[in-house]
Amino acid sequence: MTSLDNYGMEVEVVPVQGELNVGPQHPGSGHMRILVKLNGDIVEDCELDVGYVHRAVEKLGENRNYMHLIPLVERPAILDSIHMNMGYVMAVEKILNVDVPERALYLRSFAAEVNRIASHLYGLGILGIFIGHSTAFMWGFGDREVWLQILEALTGARVTNSYIIPGGVRRDLTPSIIEMTKKAIVYMRKKLKDWEKIFLKNPTIMDRLQNVGVMTREQAIEWGAVGPNLRASGVNFDVRKAEPYAAYSKLDFEIPVYKEGDGYARTLVRFEEMEQSMRILEQIIKDIPEGPILADRFLKQIPPIRMKKWVQGQGRIVLPGYYASFRPPRGEAATRVEASRGELFYYVVSDGSPKPYRLRMITPSYRAIYVFKNLCKGARYADIVSIYGSLDYFPPEADR
């Protein structure tokens, strides 16, 4: 390979070959060490060293009772805690053979979609700062705050919400939360137009993401991609449609799908999913049925005085003593939900004791490790951060 020097003379250029260590640092590689082999600025190979924030949730689950595990399973993805919570509780409910009231199912979908919007805004903010767009970083975290306030008002907690419990949910919707949600939807729809102008149609952003990290439909299926990363490669799959849970079978929404498979398509899918989530929230506010928010099996165990004081007065459940150490029958259950980053799978085994015999969780970010590794090969070194940010990888969720 030749090039011209400062005097216009042709000289031979030998590409520098070697290995480079990227990370782990935060923010940046996000607690993941990336070892790349370079030929010039082209990545010939990529090894990912994960596990720096290992949570050990699966092993800890063997020493916690079922209720104490709820805030623990949320910690691998604290910014998507509703989905982490819901998938686990659904598995426990299968073993218990509990029927959840319809209103509680709607409330689960409500909390999940609020959480999805907040999670996507987080991911877009991180993508923005990765590729040098600090406004997107500030907007992402600022707009996310609007939705976190709704979750806080609904669940009583800001980070690990622990909202969904076996048999239902802990708190009901109130008129003030409905009003907050309506205002948030109006605000977000206006803000998404601003996002489109300053971010999506920004020539620099388009250059950094278009035709970068391209994953074909066949590759996405072979590599095990899930969620927005899968749908950006032309695969129309969403657990909410394929195996409806909560109230999704009664809700009308679309699944954004793109065929380009690059970083820009993955970003567009997340943007459009926020609009679909707002559509779902509007339907829930309009159509949510009246009724209890906890299964009769558990409501009957709450003393009448506490029922009157807490359930009717403040719209929240004071858990009966049964939850402290209930013993599900022997059995096993597998569930999956469409978390913000894609399909989240749980497998729970009960041996009849107050603690699970086995807990297994396969998270969307865990599946993204192999995808990221393959997309880096052949890419330019400067595009690693673009690919990384477009996948919306969250390290603690992968490490579990």
**Exposure letters 180-205 (e unless 16+ CB within 10 A, then b):** bbeebbeebeebbeebeeebbebeeb
332-381 pLDDT per residue, tens: 999 999 999 999 999 999 999 999 999 999 999 999 999 999 999 999 99
CA distance 337 to 108: 12
Report whether 366 contacts 224 (CB < 8 A): no
178-192 pLDDT per residue, tens: 999 999 999 999 999
Q: Please report the pLDDT score of residue 11 as a whole number.
A: 56
CA distance 68 to 74: 11
Q: pTM of the prediction?
A: 0.92
Three-state secondary structure of 205-219: HHHHHCCCCCCCHHH
Q: Please report the pLDDT score of residue 52 as a whole number.
A: 79
58-103 pLDDT per residue, tens: 899 999 999 999 999 999 888 899 999 999 999 999 999 999 999 9
Q: 275: left (phi > 0), else alpha (psi -120 to 50), else beta?
A: alpha
Helix (H) or strand (E) holding 162: none
Question: Please, where are the H alpha helices in the chain?
Answer: 57-60, 69-74, 81-96, 102-130, 134-155, 175-195, 203-209, 217-223, 227-231, 239-242, 263-287, 296-299, 304-306, 313-314, 364-376, 384-391, 395-399
CATH 3.30.1330.10 applies to domain 48-398: no
DSSP code per residue over 36-104: EEEETTEEEEEEEE--TT---HHHHGGGS-TTTHHHHHHGGGGGGHHHHHHHHHHHHHHHHT-PPPHHH
Q: Please report the pLDDT score of residue 101 as a whole number.
A: 95
139-181 pLDDT per residue, tens: 999 999 999 999 999 998 888 899 999 999 999 999 999 999 9
Between 46 and 9, the higher pLDDT residue: 46
Q: Please report the pLDDT score of residue 29 as a whole number.
A: 54
Q: Please report the pLDDT score of residue 5 as a whole number.
A: 46
Q: Which of 18, 11, 13, 22 is closest to 39 using CA atoms?
A: 18
Q: 97: left (phi > 0), else alpha (psi -120 to 50), else beta?
A: left
Mean pLDDT over 303-316 rounds to 62
CA distance 137 to 123: 9
